Amino acid sequence: MPVYERGYSHWEPSDRQSLPAWLVIAKRGIAEPLKRRWLLLLILMGWVPAIVKGGIIYFKLKAGNLADLLGGGWASIEPEGFLTFIEQQRFSVWVLLAIIGSGLIASDRRDNGLSLYFSRPLGLNSYVGGKALIILFYYCLITLFPVYALCLFSYLIAPQSTGLEMLLLTPLRATVYCLLAGTSMALVLLAFSSLGKRSIFVMVWWTIMVSGTETIGAIGDGLGRDALQAVNFMGQYHNAGAWVFDSAARLEISPGVSLAVVAAWTLGALWTLRKRIRPVEVVS
């Protein structure tokens, strides 16, 4: 606008400090999906197991050992019981992350959005970090946040029985596990998203990674081939998490082996992202 036209006002700097680029990307990516009612319904369905477990915990604290016979691991308020709960959330994790994360980079590549991102003072780490934070938030939304709610509920109905464990130790274990596992899964999913330009294909690859490897692991378990369980994608996270929750191994392989497998997947995802997303290429 020319300076002599009506309505022109001189720019005046504000004292407000701009948000980091990765946080801006994350805020927008988190807020947009929440505008869809069907997604909110899907998230609510992901909380149904937490509501059921809350009812079982209430019955256990009121009825004693009888609830253990009816609820099994679901009735446990020990750390292992909460790891079991997170394990049972794997279907919700698989579906929700596929919907949220499959197009985060693929759509940018398809619509030439990378050139717009990197035409600004934005680095690769900020771009990937913001996208990963979106997936991590939705992962925690159906795993970590329900654990927080269950721990608080358990303390409120029986503070003399739960005490420090429910207010500090179990939430701390769950926080460490979910942040580490969620970040790793987010990077793997982003790596898949960076390999294609269509979200549907990324969803297929993610499904094969999660559901296909779980099937192979189950076949290996049935045949007594413990080595095949090492390809179980979700199972490796839960098995490695046994150390964090101080519980028994979830698979017939060492949690240390699972931790090494998870680390390999994470490093492979980082390598893929660095190769597939190059600011120098997209702005040239």
Per residue of the chain (284 residues), give pLDDT as tens.
454 455 556 655 555 666 788 898 999 999 999 989 999 999 999 999 999 888 888 877 766 555 554 555 556 778 888 999 999 999 999 999 999 999 999 998 888 888 778 877 788 889 999 999 999 999 999 999 999 999 988 888 876 666 778 888 899 999 999 999 999 999 999 999 999 888 899 999 999 999 888 888 888 777 767 677 788 899 999 999 999 998 888 888 889 999 999 999 999 999 999 998 876 544 44
The verdict on residue 181 lying in a domain is yes
The CA–CA distances, whole Å, from 53 to 14, 44, 73, 79, 154 equal 50, 15, 10, 14, 11
Enclosing domain of residue 105: 21-276
For the chain, helix, strand, coil in percent to 5 are 80, 0, 20
Rounded distance between C-alpha atoms, residue 4 and residue 171, angstroms: 61
| DSSP code of residue 277 | -
Closest CA to 127 of 268, 271, 22: 22
Beta-carbon contacts of residue 231 (< 8 Å; ≥ 6 apart) = 213, 216, 217, 220
Beta-carbon contacts of residue 80 (< 8 Å; ≥ 6 apart) = 73, 245, 246, 247, 248
Rounded distance between C-alpha atoms, residue 234 and residue 261, angstroms: 11
The CA–CA distances, whole Å, from 76 to 81, 85, 165, 177 equal 5, 10, 13, 18
Q: State the amino acid at position 265 in one-letter form.
A: W
The verdict on residue 31 lying in a domain is yes
The verdict on residue 255 lying in a domain is yes
The verdict on residue 7 lying in a domain is no
Rounded distance between C-alpha atoms, residue 84 and residue 242, angstroms: 10
- Model pLDDT, residue 122: 80
The verdict on residue 16 lying in a domain is no
First vs last Cα of the chain: how many Å apart? 29
Closest CA to 84 of 254, 238, 240, 271: 238
Based on the structure, what is the number of domains in the chain?
Answer: 1
The verdict on residue 284 lying in a domain is no
Assessment of whether the complete model's pTM goes beyond 0.85: yes
The verdict on residue 210 lying in a domain is yes
Residue 77 CA to its chain's centroid (Å): 23
Backbone angles phi, psi at 111, to 5 degrees: -95, 10
Buried/exposed 251-268: b ≥16 CB within 10 Å, e otherwise: bebebebbbebbeebbee
Backbone angles phi, psi at 20, to 5 degrees: -60, 150
The verdict on residue 254 lying in a domain is yes
- The answer to whether residues 244 and 177 touch, using CB atoms and an 8 Å cutoff, is yes
